[in-house]
Amino acid sequence: MFLAAPYAAARQRGDERNTFRSLYTPEYLAFKKRIMAEFAGVGPGRFSEFVRHLKIEKSGDKEQKVLAFTFDACGGKHSGYNRKLIDYLRKERIPATLFVTGLWIEKNKETFAELAKDPLFEIENHGLMHRLCSTEGRTMYGVPATRDMGDVIDEMELGARKILELTGRRPIFFRSAAAYTDELSMKIAERLGMEVVSYDILPGDATHYSAKTMSANILKGARHGAIVIMHFNHPGWPELEAMQLAVPELRKKGYIFMKLEDFSVKS
Ligand SMILES: [Zn+2]
């Protein structure tokens, strides 16, 4: 039986402190303690994919329709690299925002460095350990979640620090695993200087839709300012083929593509 939002609080502590030991500095632990004290007694609020819906404001040419392609790299068992998709984005000069986890970076260090150097791509924070962000340990789809506020801070802040350490740029956007967060997590992200990003268009790569269906979903959902979510960590998934079908049609309709950091955004 499928249980909606079961609790993950009983999960054993993982080995994150070993994998990412160097990030748990005395300075960080003191910082984390301060943040936890600031939010002590605040309730978790709603837990959903759309705790806040980031909107892209119209800017520049009023006739120009803009779409944001975002691709996640989740990590753990799913630490592959869809090089053909990235090659296509480069060939077609399609700017994209890449949400990466600390776990994925660990397994793809050279690739990550190469992507981070490319101005076509914006690197953003998909969390240190790919956890759904719930301050009370709720989860969805069987994806491991944070167990408490401390885990949420680790996920957001250490994910950001990992990226900063390697790229010199601190992420400004955060998307948790499966895009699920509670309202308190969203406030914590703000306190840490990041905006929680969800999506507008879900083409369905993670539900194993065909390229044709995914392309149809993109075209159906396309409107000015929409954010598309797909992945670039599964070389066997058909995001490339979906893009090859959808992009020429979108261009015919007058769409251009932008990274999230290049939009003026409001929530
Ligand atoms: Zn993910």
Taking the centre of ligand 1 as the mean of its atom positions, its distance from the CA of residue 207, in whole angstroms, is 13
The whole-number pLDDT of residue 2 equals 42
Measured in angstroms, how far is the CA atom of residue 168 from the centroid of ligand 1?
23
CA of 32 to the centre of ligand 1 (A): 24
Please give the distance, rounded to the nearest whole angstrom, from the Cα atom of residue 160 to the centre of ligand 1.
15
Distance (Å) of CA 106 to CA 87, 191, 228 = 22, 26, 26
Q: At what angle do helices 211-221 and 239-252 cross, to 10 degrees?
A: 40
Q: How far is the CA of 195 from the centre of ligand 1 (A)?
A: 17
Residues with CB under 5 A from ligand 1 (ion): 72, 74, 177
Domains along the sequence of the chain with CATH: 53-266 (3.20.20.370)
Full pLDDT tens readout for the chain, 267 residues: 344 445 544 444 555 557 899 999 999 999 999 999 999 999 999 998 877 666 666 555 666 789 999 999 999 888 999 999 999 999 999 999 999 999 999 999 999 999 999 999 999 999 999 999 999 999 988 888 999 999 999 999 999 999 999 999 999 999 999 889 999 999 999 999 999 999 999 999 999 999 999 999 999 999 988 999 999 999 999 999 999 999 999 999 999 999 999 876 554
Give the Å distance between the CA of 173 and the centre of ligand 1.
Answer: 14
Token readout for 259 is 């990274």
Distance 58 CA to ligand 1 centre (A): 28
Q: How far is the CA of 129 from the centre of ligand 1 (A)?
A: 10
Which pLDDT score, from 0 to 100, does residue 8 have?
Answer: 47
Distance (angstroms) between ligand 1 centre and the Cα of 25 equals 26
b vs e for 70-101, b when ≥16 Cβ sit within 10 Å of the residue's Cβ? bbbbbbeebbbbbeebbebbeeeebbbbbbbb
CA of 177 to the centre of ligand 1 (A): 4
pLDDT value at residue 11: 46
